Amino acid sequence: MNLILLTDDDLRPDGTALITGRRARHVAEVHRPAIGAVLAVGRVGGRLGRGQVIRAAPDEVVLQVVLEAEPPPALGVDLLLAMPRPKMLRRLLQAVASLGVKRLVLVNSFRVEKSYFDTPLLVAEAIREELLLGLEQGRDTILPEVLVRKRFKPFVEDELEGLWGAARRLIAHPAAPATVERCRAGNANEPVAVAIGPEGGWIPYEVQMLEARGFEGFSLGPRILRVDTAVPFILGQLALARRLSG
């Protein structure tokens, strides 16, 4: 835990915060702070700062909190992701939050098994818990927006333009001639949306629908990566391309 995230319920009128449960146990077992020690803290949806330990026990920790810094800038890349296998979903939710993605759309695809949408990980509270773990890792406080869409065609036809009307649009596809580093990812101020398919890739019909709406195809070269490897790889490549072009 690189950042202790505080909710509004944790904060008290006297400027202190009381944390319990998993976070308190982590502080007690990993940080093992002495009274007066300073820990990195942040308010969910708000600023970063520091928390000075004024009481520490295995089941609760009290911090004197000062919040004075803005969270890191968003990555500027939204993700349209074919619904992954549930055991991958947990890791991916944490990864996108830690990398600074602020909008994730989980969408159905021909090669996605219908049972994937029955996972309890799609319950709003479960999604939030995984995103918070990612924010703790990345020292961020701004939760990503997560949308779940069980029908590919209606989403593409009815919602996609409203989400990414001004964005540079890219689609990962093994048959595309350009590799990711040759794709113009825009400058640091231009939003980007990238579509990443399921294991086995998007089918031609899905590729055609996305390309008809301005998505430019790119490949990752000769290697075929698992989705949970491809997502952070692509996001990292696009982040670098944006910095270099900016």
What HEC string does 156-205 produce? HHHCHHHHHCCCEEEEECCCCCCEHHHCCCCCCCCCEEEEECCCCCCCHH
The mean pLDDT of 152-167, rounded to a whole number, is 96
Find where tokens 């009307």 sit.
165
Among residues 70, 59, 150, 142, the alpha carbon closest in space to that of 102 is found at: 142
* Residue 245 scores a pLDDT above 80: no
- Identify the pLDDT of residue 58: 87
Superfamily of domain 4-69: Hypothetical PUA domain-like; domain 1 (2.40.240.20)
Please check the confidence at residue 169 and state whether its pLDDT lies above 60.
yes
In 3-state terms, what secondary structure has residue 128? Answer: helix
- Threshold 0.75, pTM exceeds: yes
Q: In CATH terms, are 4-69 and 77-245 the same topology?
A: no
CATH superfamily, domain at 77-245: SPOUT methyltransferase, trefoil knot domain (3.40.1280.10)
The reported pLDDT for the residue numbered 153 is: 97
Model confidence band, residue 181 (pLDDT cutoffs 50, 70, 90): low
Average pLDDT over residues 200-221: 92
The domains of the chain are located at 4-69, 77-245
Residue 222 has a pLDDT of 81
> Two tokens at 243?
């910095």
Cβ neighbourhood burial of 36 (10 Å; 0-12, 13-18, 19+): exposed
Over residues 147-161, mean pLDDT: 98
> 75-99: per-residue pLDDT in tens?
999 999 999 999 999 999 999 999 9
Task: Read off the tokens for 186.
Answer: 């825009």
High-pLDDT (> 90) share of the chain, %: 82
Distance CA 227, CA 231 (A): 6
User: Please, which pLDDT band fits residue 186 given cuts at 50, 70 and 90?
Assistant: low
Closest CA relative to residue 163, chosen from 131, 192, 127: 192
Mean per-residue pLDDT for 44-69?
A: 96
Give the pLDDT score at 185: 54
Of 3, 100, 96, the closest CA to residue 50 belongs to: 3
Compute the mean pLDDT over every residue in the chain, rounded to the nearest whole number.
Answer: 93
196 vs 177 pLDDT, higher one:
196
Residue by residue, DSSP assigns 38-83 as EEEEEETTS-EEEEEEEEE-SSEEEEEEEEEEPPPPP-SEEEEEEP
pLDDT in tens, 117-135: 999 999 999 999 999 999 9
Higher pLDDT, 188 or 96: 96
| pLDDT for position 44 | 98
Query: Around Cβ 73, how many Cβ atoms within 10 Å?
Result: 11
Q: In this structure, what token pair is assigned to residue 50?
A: 């520091």
What tokens were used for 106? 């989980």
Q: Has residue 246 got a pLDDT over 70? A: no
Residue 152 is predicted with a pLDDT of 98
Question: Does the structure show a pLDDT above 80 at 184?
Answer: no
Give the pLDDT score at 196.
Answer: 96
pLDDT at 188 over 70: no
3-state secondary structure of 141: coil
For residue 108, CA distances in Å to 78, 111, 115, 139, 200 come to 17, 8, 11, 31, 14
